[in-house]
Chains A and B, each alone.
Chain A
């Protein structure tokens, strides 16, 4: 609070009660208003001034408290017309109802206390124009100057017109206020609605009450002794709502302690949900900054692109010293409770750093996994290309050479030459056969052309042990089929080498987004995936696709090798 603001606050602190006593007591004792409304009158002014003082003190940068206090003072000024003095009557009459204009101003400006948009400033300025209408009404009243010192222009007709203008204007102002409040409510997110809720509800009631009051007065006129209670009650509710909002904000800060305990108990990965609960913003997101990089990740380590701040969302960066640890993306409305965000940020500092380290680790793990999967995919792709090159290049040339030699041999009549050519053909056939086996070893063409099921049947047909093939499902992604093929090939090779099995079984199926590739036998069991590089290499290949390789091989119960690979 600046020294000037502090002085103004003290003035309000001293002047407020004085105005209440002076205005309200006079209002009541001199019997202008019915006595039954006195408690409400007193309540409205006292509560408005008191709430204004509290709010102004706690949030000096926000004009809400100042406006509320001024509204309370103006409410009491209306009461001084009760003193049987022509000047007091004139002043009181001029200010009668002016407190509603200030209340409307602060409700339209809530919660920031500032009007912001130009159209709102024009609206509120026009609203204050109604005060001028009220002054003109006082000047043109048909009363002698000994009663109303301001009645310098006796013009009953003009007074009536001004009175109608005032009523219609107030009604229109209240209606526009309702529309603005309704629109603001509809456009607000959860967190903002929580802040706006109580005050906007009271404001809505107030605007409706004033509008109805003005309509009633316009139709039946104001008669002494008849009081329309809703506007009074509504005016009383406004400061109550402001105090309620303040109390709720204070209670929210008390929850910060629970938040720290909750984070201690729940461990990593729960920060975002805990903050969302503490700050009452279900859509809140936490981005953790990676070391030495201007990049953020979520708690799972997934890259997170921070949204651009707009009318609905804002970003609060949380740091320790100069180091920026995290960014909290939240509803812009939370900026209206800076102390809450600061308290939460400070309380979760250590846990946030821990969570950030976890997120960073997960991110590194993901980068590593992606890199491993890329390596496997690249290697597979290279093997496919190599096999294709062998097939289209060297193999075709050797085959053409074989056809040419075969035809040449048929034309040679010399037996020795024919024998030489036959030997050359034989050598060539061996070369072609070896090349074919080499190409198959590099990458089985049937896998690309026909899929894993067909490739598995081919492997089964070459096995010395009878193999049953059970397939349930269609084709899988190429990387999954390739990994599955090598699992089957290696497992069948092991069956033939070590298992002493009578039969084996290959099962390929899909379940719950997983490709399940299983090779089982009825052999001696006792296989150890940690020994040798065959199964261990397969486990790496399957792991690169985020899958896992399970080997069950208790002695005497056969062996089951099962690959579970995500394929969705």
Chain B
């Protein structure tokens, strides 16, 4: 069974390309959200396995939002800035320029096992 993903980012071009990247890597993208409020609604409605969550959202911090989501939902925080600049703590984080097909395929393979 393929891992389901919700993509949350306020840049439409990034959401479009990320959707294709994840789908090519073997994930099923179940939805997209452009801000924190619609992200919460989508998580509750779609119950994705993974949320790709931008740290800087127009209506607040992605880090704070990640802490409010149900524990059953895995969250991968992403940003164009480095972790040093964001006080990520122990949360799972990846820079946006580190999102590659190879890495995602490895993640998908790990999740499927």
In the bound complex, CA of A399 to CA of B9 (Å): 13
Could you tell me which residues of chain B, from 21 to 70, have a CB within 8 Å of some CB in chain A?
A: 21, 24, 56, 61
The answer on a CB contact under 8 Å between A407 and B24 is yes
A368 at the interface (CB under 8 A from B): no
Task: For the complex, give the distance between the alpha carbons of A440 and B81 in Å.
Answer: 9
A446 near B85 with CB under 8 A, answer yes
Q: Given that A432-B80, A432-B97, A449-B56 are known contacts, is A403 also in contact with B17, CB under 8 Å in the complex?
A: yes
The smallest C-beta distance from A95 to any residue of chain B, in angstroms, reads 92
Docked complex Cα distance between A403 and B61 (Å): 24
Q: Which of A404, A406, A433, A445 has the most CB of B within 10 A?
A: A406
Q: Using known A-B contacts A396-B14, A397-B13, determine if residue A406 contacts B101 with beta carbons closer than 8 Å.
A: yes
Which chain B residues border A403 with CB–CB below 8 Å? 14, 17-18, 21, 99
Q: Tell me, yes or no, whether A113 is within 8 Å of chain B by CB.
A: no
A–B pairs, 16, beta carbons within 8 Å: A396-B14, A400-B11, A406-B21, A407-B17, A407-B20, A407-B101, A428-B97, A432-B80, A433-B97, A436-B80, A436-B81, A440-B81, A445-B56, A445-B81, A449-B61, A462-B84
Determine which of A410, A449, A461 lies in contact with B84 in the assembled complex, contact meaning CB atoms within 8 Å: A461
A460 to chain B, nearest CB (A): 10
- In the complex, whether A450 has a CB less than 8 A from a CB of chain B is yes
Instruction: Check A126 for interface membership: any CB of B closer than 8 A.
Output: no
Q: CB distance A400 to B97 under 8 Å? A: no
Given A400-B17, A404-B17, A454-B81 contact (CB < 8 Å) = no
Interface pair B84/A402, CB less than 8 Å apart: no
Given contacts A403-B18, A406-B101, A407-B20, 4 further A-B contacts (CB under 8 A): A396-B80, A399-B14, A400-B17, A450-B86
The number of A-B residue pairs with CB atoms under 8 Å apart is: 69
Assuming A399-B96, A410-B101, A449-B56, is B84 touching A458 (CB within 8 A)?
Answer: yes
B17 contacts across to A, CB distance below 8 A: 400, 403-404, 407
How many residues of B are counted as interface, with CB atoms below 8 angstroms from the partner's CB atoms? 22
Chain B binding site: helix, strand, loop or mixed by DSSP? Answer: helix
Is A503 an interface residue when CB atoms closer than 8 A count as contact?
A: no
CB atoms of B13 and A457 under 8 A apart: no
CB contacts (< 8 Å) of B14 on chain A: these are 396, 399-400, 403
Set of chain A residues within 8 Å of B61, measured between Cβ atoms = 449
Whether the Cβ atoms of A391 and B85 lie closer than 8 Å is no
Q: Which A90-105 residues have a C-beta within 8 angstroms of B?
A: none
Q: CA of A404 to CA of B97 in the docked complex: distance in angstroms?
A: 11
Interface size grouping (class) on chain A: 20 to 34
Rounded to whole angstroms, the CA-CA distance of A461 and B89 in the bound complex is 13
Q: Verify A450–B97 contact, CB threshold 8 A.
A: no
Q: Is the CB of A458 within 8 A of B85?
A: yes
Q: Check B100–A445 contact: CB distance below 8 A.
A: no
A429 to nearest B CB, angstroms?
A: 6
**Which of A392, A400, A402, A444 has the largest number of chain B CB atoms within 10 A?**
A400
Query: Counting CB contacts under 8 A, is A175 at the interface?
Result: no
B1 interface hit (Cβ, 8 Å): no
Interface string of A368-406 (1 = CB under 8 A from B): 000000000000000000000001100111011011101
- Taking CB as reference atom, which chain A residue is nearest B11? A396
Q: Are B81 and A391 in contact (CB under 8 A)?
A: yes
A399-B80, A436-B80 known; A449 vs B86 contact (CB < 8 Å) = yes
**Per-residue A-contact encoding for B81-96, CB less than 8 Å = 1, 0 else:** 1101111000000001
Residues of B within 8 A of A440 (CB): 81, 85
Contacts of A392 in B (CB 8 A): 11
Are B87 and A454 in contact (CB-based, < 8 A)?
yes
Shortest Cβ gap from A392 to chain B (Å): 8
Chain B residues with CB under 8 Å of A439's CB are 81
Q: How far is the CB of A82 from chain B (nearest CB, A)?
A: 102
- Give the contacts of A401-450 with B (CB-CB under 8 A): 402-404, 406-407, 410, 428-429, 432-433, 436, 439-440, 444-446, 449-450
**A residues near B20, Cβ cutoff 8 Å:** 407
Pick the 10 closest A-B CB pairs, nearest first: A403-B17, A454-B87, A400-B13, A395-B80, A446-B85, A450-B87, A399-B96, A432-B97, A396-B11, A458-B84
Q: How far is the CA of A5 from the CA of B100 in the complex (A)?
A: 108
Distance in Å: Cβ of B110 to nearest Cβ of chain A: 19
When the two chains form their complex, are residues B97 and A446 in contact, meaning their CB atoms are under 8 A apart? no
The chain B residue sitting closest to A457, CB to CB, is B87
Residues from chain B with Cβ under 8 Å of A429 in the complex = 97
Q: Which residues of B contact A445 (CB under 8 A)?
A: 56, 81, 85-86
A435 and chain B: residue at smallest CB distance: B80
